Amino acid sequence: MTSETTTASGGAQAASAAGAPIRIRMYRQGLGDCFLVTLPGENGSFYMVIDCGVVLGTDVDGIQKLKDAVDDIAKITEGKIDLLVLTHEHYDHVSGFMQAKDTIKEKWKVSQVWTAWTEDLKDPLANKLRAERQKAEEALRMAVNRLNEIKATDQANRVSSLLDFFGATSGETARAFACAKELAGKKNLRLCQPGEPPIILPGLPKFRFYVLGPPKDEKLLRKSNPGKGEAYGFDVSASNEMFLNALSRNASATDATLDPFESRFQIPLNRARRLPFFDRHYFGDLQDGSVTEHKTGKALRDQSWRRVDDAWLDTSETLALALDSATNNTSLVLALENIDTGEVLLFPGDAQAGNWLSWQDLKWTAKDAQGKDAVTTGSDLLARTIFYKVGHHGSHNATLSQKGLELMTKPGLIAMIPVDHAMALKKRWGKMPMPDLVERLNARADGRVLRVDDSAATTVQLKGACPANSSAEDWTAFTDNVAVTELYFELSIR
């Protein structure tokens, strides 16, 4: 795309709120995303909410904090939400639209809602992805039933927990997402396309929105894990295709008859016992103390230890995690540019490796601060990023290195991580956030990294915690613009 879209009638005018800071409020409800961004507009403050949720299993206090965040947003904005951004359909990003449904309905007046093109019911690729997701969800539900049947309760609970996490069982996530999309009415729902012309909104002439992802490239959409050297702390996931195909073949069967292999590759156990090869090498006459009595009365060697009937179901947990990652990779990614300064705020949702890689090929032509045409690329936006909302709670595959964080070279970078490590451990996500990533973030941002779960953080504590890689002057300039309460961190960018 090479043209600029200005949706404001009459074109861009000087902002009457010039000089007012940009404010980014990150709420501290637990493991989940909820942000309020306040921008100086022509007619006062412009309010943008990005997601509103907390992970399944959050305690009562965390859920109450999310409800308090919803009330706080209503109070700060006086109920006027100019833009609601829904990055993707995951419980920890949208649960609040059900948990605080009545308050939102009563106190929020949402002007427009943005989400990704993957919600377009007329898009063939979006429909293909949706169908595949439904197929995987159905297969995993069957796996949970089978795991419970064979008394693999712990594994069944883990897979079921992941299914609940992205709404594959109760449907709560889908309902919350649907409620959120409807808050501004169908006419005010925007399905954002990567690389579409930069967007300037009415009353907000000094800011420009760039849509970076999710990509329309199917191969990149399916790439959740980074390759070697592409990220910080590399993990490897196993392939799930054989597992998924096996379950799909048995979709019409009862759970008790689920088989890992097609029938043409199977030899029933009773038949195998009668075949000379298996009799000679596997069963045969009793050789040790292990005995299995059969109808013939013949004593045979016990071969039960060889059985793999249910071992293949171990892959179900890996598939559930892969399905989780696939949804993350459909995250709507926005870069918000201050036209006067060229500085960029980056909000990637939970975008994973393929989503990040797709930004490298994007290119736009838009007016610079002097009114001249200038070409902007995805890499340019990263180079001018001064604020980074860390993707997917700091996981290994949601912040690329050489094609991500290492491109954020502008001095003064600040990062916020919406993470709760204690809850991540309960969910068996031990490396959330990834230690290697946190270390590199602190190095790149000179310690200007704010974490939701930093229980020791107070305004006073931050002021006295100047890291070795930051000057006292720079640290004071940072902390003077950070407010800390039990409910939120707020950063002011002047």
Instruction: Centre a 10 Å sphere on the Cβ of residue 34 and count the other Cβ atoms it contains.
Output: 29
DSSP element (H, E) containing 110: strand 109-110
pLDDT at residue 381, as a whole number? 98
Give the predicted TM-score (pTM) of the model.
0.81
pLDDT at residue 158, as a whole number? 66
pLDDT at residue 242, as a whole number? 43
pLDDT at residue 50, as a whole number? 98
pLDDT at residue 172, as a whole number? 84
As a whole number of Å, the CA-based R_g of the chain is 26
| Topology of the domain covering 5-122+166-237+322-493 | Metallo-beta-lactamase; Chain A (3.60.15)
Q: Are strands 80-81 and 109-110 parallel, antiparallel or unpaired?
A: parallel
pLDDT at residue 10, as a whole number? 31
**Beta bridge partner(s), residue 114:** 85, 190
pLDDT at residue 266, as a whole number? 66
pLDDT at residue 56, as a whole number? 85
pLDDT at residue 171, as a whole number? 75
How do the domains of the chain map onto residue ranges?
5-122+166-237+322-493, 261-307
Question: Token pair of 96, please?
Answer: 């609040």
pLDDT at residue 112, as a whole number? 98
- Can you tell me the distance from the alpha carbon of 487 to that of 421, in angstroms, rounded to the nearest whole number? 17
- Can you tell me the distance from the alpha carbon of 487 to that of 489, in angstroms, rounded to the nearest whole number? 7
pLDDT at residue 392, as a whole number? 93
- What is the mean pLDDT of each successive set of 10 residues along the chain, which is 494 residues long? 39 45 97 97 96 93 97 97 96 95 97 97 91 75 73 69 58 90 96 97 95 95 86 53 45 45 63 76 58 53 58 57 74 96 96 95 86 92 98 93 96 96 84 94 96 91 90 94 96 95
